[in-house]
Structure 1
Amino acid sequence: MSLDDERNDGLFGGSGETRTRLPEGEGGGDDVYGARRSTRSGRTSPRSLVTVVGVVVLLIAAIAFANRGGDDAASTRADEKKPDAAATAPSGEKPVGGKNGGIPSGFAHDEQGAESAASNYAVSLVSADILKPDRRTEIVKQLFVADKVSELRGKFDKTYSKEFLSKIGLDDKGNAAPGQTYVSRTVPVGTKTTAYSDNAATVAVWCTGAFGTAGQDATNPVSNDWFTLTLKLRWADGDWKVESFQSKDGPAPVNGDNKVSTADEIAKAVQEYGGFTYAR
């Protein structure tokens, strides 16, 4: 099968991207979304180098200016009114009561709790674990409301068939070949509540992440992507649960002129650096 065939079979996206997709959580059909792969150039243009140098110079100057002055300057800053919390700053409230199977649970029954839940659920829904049949069953059961579990489990299993996993270099258990590491690490950048009531909430989670396979002879190298995952949540069984979800591309910034790491460096980073529990 050619790459064009793969892009057109409903499992892969076009526009030069290869995506490991998840089944949509609402509506008819088998539209799916998921972990993404984008290509980027490793070249660095002279204009980009000048821009980077200019930014570094400005940062150094700003740090030097901030460190000037003695006690009087510190007193003046202490008397100033503190700025309002930024859109993605933690609220200070305890975000979550504990973890169930490694996934945070026990979120507060308020808007901030809904945003914290949506952020952590986005990480699980677009993860390497979702490709593993045994782990996927646990994730779906924990994240979704009880009356959606059976339907969504069937969609996930259909999407992540043996044939699909083979296309992205994984066996039927969702494992990469010896010497390779499959990467699907999602990072929430911010959240926005678009609807809220005492028992329901709709939260959009702006995400980035690293997706692909690290290792020798990998045909799906690790790259980054930007997307927005919108989750409809329901308060059920003492916690926020997912009722449905959908995703769209972006917003995406211009790719930076970063030095591309080796496959071994990426695989080592994934193994050595753990994830976070996210809080609004």
Structure 2
Amino acid sequence: MTSGDEQAYTDYDDTGHTRTRLPEPDPYGGAPRRTPHRSSSRSLVTVVGVVVLLIAAIAFANRGDGSSSDGSTAKSDRPGSAPTAPSGTRPVDTKSAGVPTVFAHTEQGAQSAASNYAVALGSTDMFKKNSRDRLLQLLYTPEAAARLEGPMDQAYSADFLAKMGLDAAGDPPSGSTFVSRVVPVGTAVQHYTDNDAKVAVWYLGLIGMAGSSSTDPVTSSWKTWTFDLRWSGGDWKITSDGQKDGPAPVPGDDKAATSDEISKAIEEYGGFTYAR
């Protein structure tokens, strides 16, 4: 991957870094979180439940286009061992609305596109109507964008946003910051031609509300996001996509950071433009 001076994905005119300040007191209490409390478990179940409903809504919208969205392939079509390694080629030199675009018309370009699209679609911009619509128009084929707009609006309903702690416009309460970030770990090409490609992105996701009154602190999850891509209009565009859980590594014995440490880390460590 190549790093740059990208700015926050939470703002289309200013993307690449996610800046978050968490007020005290520390919601974690500085204690290890290997065994969450009952209340935290209930909150996490709520978050996971609504996210599963959202993914199901997106999968429903993609149904019937003749392509698989769960990343599964026949045994004979499964790719061999080919670890993601740097090619030495910059993925892109341009951005559209703050998102890397105009990727190379190659297998590596398709992998770079899928990784960066996952970052954009996993950002807080998806929780706001205007920025979500811009992402759909930018990253999907026109047919897919038109098909998804309605179901996406239903998925990101006011009730769903409220369960995530956001208001109807997708904004967090005063004194809190909503965090949603996707960090790609690797990619796998499951199919490739000059016209289309299927690329799976294994990623670590961060989501939650940062704030002194939050009952759902920022937590992590491991998922695989598979994109069906088509070469269209001089760039790779998404025709359909889907997610599945894992593979997740065994949790370590790391002590949970304090809210000050999390706040400083999120502010200081920005995003990347991901490249194969």
TM-score bracket, normalised by the shorter chain, equals 0.7 to 0.9
- Aligned pair 1:99/2:95, yes or no? yes
**Which residue pairs with 2:215 in the alignment?**
219
TM-score (norm 1): 0.72
8 Å CA contact retained: 2:182, 2:203 = yes
Between 1 and 2, higher relative CO (CA 8 Å, sep ≥ 6) is seen in 2
Code of the aligned partner of 2:102: G
Aligned equivalent of 1:42: none
Residue in 2 that maps onto 1:158: 154
1:248 to 244, 247, 269: 244
Distance apart, 1:149 and its partner CA: 1.0
User: 2:163, 2:153 → 1: CA distance?
Assistant: 15
Code of the residue aligned with 1:134 in structure 2: it is N
Structure 1 match to 2:163: 167
Number of residue-to-residue matches in the alignment: 219
Q: CA deviation at 1:270?
A: 2.5
Q: Deviations over 1:144-168 (max 9, x none)?
A: 0011112111111110011110111
Shift of residue 117, structure 1, vs aligned partner: 0.2
1:214 counterpart letter in structure 2: A
Q: 2:140 aligns with which of 140, 144, 147?
A: 144
Provide the C-alpha distance between the structure 1 equivalents of 2:151 and 2:51, rounded to a whole number of angstroms. 20
- Residues 190-269 of structure 1: pairs in structure 2 closer than 5 A: 190-269=186-265
Change (3 A) 1:267 1:152: farther
Consecutive unaligned residues in structure 1, runs of 5 or more:
34-85
Which residue number corresponds to residue 21 of structure 1? 54
What percent of counterpart residues are identical? 49
Does the CA-based 8 Å contact 1:181-1:267 persist in structure 2?
no
1:137 to 1:240, Cα distance in 2 relative to 1, 3 A: same
Q: Structure 2: any 5+ residue segments left out of the alignment?
A: 1-40, 71-81
Distance 1:123 1:20, change over 3 A: farther
Deviates further, 122-131 or 199-208: 122-131
1:171-215 CA deviation, whole Å, 9 max, x = no partner?
Answer: 112111111111111110000000011110000000012211111
Residues 23-77 of structure 1: CA distance to partner in whole angstroms, max 9, x if unpaired?
Answer: 225216xxx99xxxxxxxxxxxxxxxxxxxxxxxxxxxxxxxxxxxxxxxxxxxx
CA contact (8 A) 2:84 2:188 kept: no
Deviation of residue 268 (structure 1)?
A: 3.8
8 Å CA contact 1:214–1:264 kept in 2: the answer is no
Give the residue type in structure 1 aligned to 2:123: S
Structure 1, residues 100-155: CA drift from partner, whole Å, max 9, x if none? 11110010001000000000001111111110111111111101001111211111
- Within 5 A, what are the aligned runs for 1:42-57? none
CA contact (8 A) 1:187 1:209 kept: yes
Equivalent pair of 1:116/1:279 in contact (CA under 8 Å): yes
Partner of 1:278 in structure 2? Answer: 274
Q: Secondary structure, in 3 states, of the residue corresponding to 1:122?
A: helix
- The residue aligned with 2:26 is none
Return the offset for 1:94: 2.4
SS of 2:190's equivalent in the other structure is: strand
Measured on the aligned residues, the alpha-carbon RMSD in Å equals: 2.7
Q: Which moved more, 1:107-116 or 1:133-142?
A: 133-142
Match of 1:187?
Answer: 183
CA–CA separation in structure 2 for the residues paired with 1:234 and 1:88: 21
Query: What residue number does 1:111 align with?
Result: 107
CA contact (8 A) 1:209 1:224 kept: yes
Give the deviation of 1:13 after TM superposition: 4.2
* SS of residue paired to 1:21: helix
Q: Is residue 226–residue 243 contact of structure 2 (8 Å, CA) maintained in 1? A: yes
Higher share of residues assigned strand? 1
Answer yes or no: is the 8 Å Cα contact 2:205–2:223 preserved in 1.
no
